[in-house]
Amino acid sequence: MSPIQLTFLAVAAFSLVSALMVVTRPNMVHAALYLVVASFGVAALFVLLGAPYLAVIQVVVYIGAIAILMIIAIMLTRRIASEDLVVVNAQAGWAAVLAAILFFSLLIILGGWDSFGALAGELPPGSVDPAALGEALVSPQAFVIPFEVASVLLLAALIGAIVIAWRSSRAGG
C-alpha cells in the first residue's frame, strides 16, 4: 500500500464520516460545520486527481461562500438551531433503504464496466496548469458559450435571491 493510497483512504473515510454527520446531526450549525469538513475532503481529492485549480475553487466556493451562507440562514431561522426537535421525517427508514439500494446498484453497474479498475495514465504536459483550463473556458472552439451562460445564470440567481428574500411591506413580511 503506497503512501498516496493511504492518503486517499484517510481523506475518503474522513469525508464520508463527515457527510454522515451532515445528514444526521440534530443541531444544524454542527451539520453546516461538518459540511465544511466534507467539502475540504473533496478538495483534497481534487488535488490527488491533478486538478489543483478546482481544489482552490472548491475551498473558495463551498467553504467560503456556500457553508457561510448556510450558517447565516440557520442563524436567521432561529427555532431550528435548537437540539430538541426531531430532525428526520417519517420516511427516514425508507430513505435509508433507498440510499443503500442506490449505492449497491451503482456498485453492481460500475463493476460490470471495462474501465472500472483503470489506472491513471501519464498526465499530458501542461494539463495540470490552470492556464489550459482558462484557455478552454474562453476559446471559441471550446467552451465559451457555456461559460457565458453560467455567468448569466449566476447574475440571474443573484438578482433572484435578492428579490425573493427582500422584506416587502406589501406582503406583510
Partner 1 sequence: MIPLSWYLIFAAALFSIGLYGVFARKNAVGILMGIELMLNAININLVAFWRYLNPTDMAGQVFALMVFAVSASEVAVGLALVISIYRRRKTIAADEVHELKW
Judged by CB under 8 A, the chain residues 54 through 93 that form the site for partner 1 are 54, 57-58, 61-62, 65-66, 69-70, 72-74, 76-77, 79-80, 85-89, 91-92
| Closest residue by Cα to residue 22 from 7, 9, 39 | 39
Full DSSP string of 104-167: HHHHHHHHTSGGGGPPP-PPPTTSSSHHHHHHHHH-TTTTHHHHHHHHHHHHHHHHHHHHHH--
Shortest distance, position 156 Cβ to partner 1, whole Å: 7
Work out which of 145, 164, 169, 170 binds partner 1, going by CB under 8 A: 164
Determine the size of the site formed for partner 1 (CB under 8 A): 92
| Closest residue by Cα to residue 92 from 82, 80, 100 | 100
Q: Which x/- pattern, by CB under 8 A, does the window 141-160 give for partner 1? A: -xx--xx--xx-xx-xxx-x
Other residues' Cβ atoms within 10 Å of the Cβ of residue 71: 18
Q: What is the DSSP letter of 83?
A: S
Residues counted in the chain: 173
Shortest distance, position 140 Cβ to partner 1, whole Å: 14
Q: Show the cell assigned to 148.
A: 457565458
Residue 51 and residue 67 in contact, taking contact as beta carbons nearer than 8 Å: no
Shortest distance, position 76 Cβ to partner 1, whole Å: 6
Hey, which residues between 102 and 141 contact partner 1 (CB under 8 A)?
102-103, 106-107, 110, 115-121, 123-124, 127, 132-133, 136-137
Q: Which is nearer to partner 1, 127 or 140 (CB)?
A: 127
Work out which of 3, 84, 94, 169 binds partner 1, going by CB under 8 A: 94
Hey, which residues between 20 and 59 contact partner 1 (CB under 8 A)?
20, 22-23, 28, 31-32, 35, 38-39, 42, 45-46, 48-51, 53-54, 57-58
Shortest distance, position 111 Cβ to partner 1, whole Å: 8
C-alpha span between 112 and 66 (Å, rounded): 36
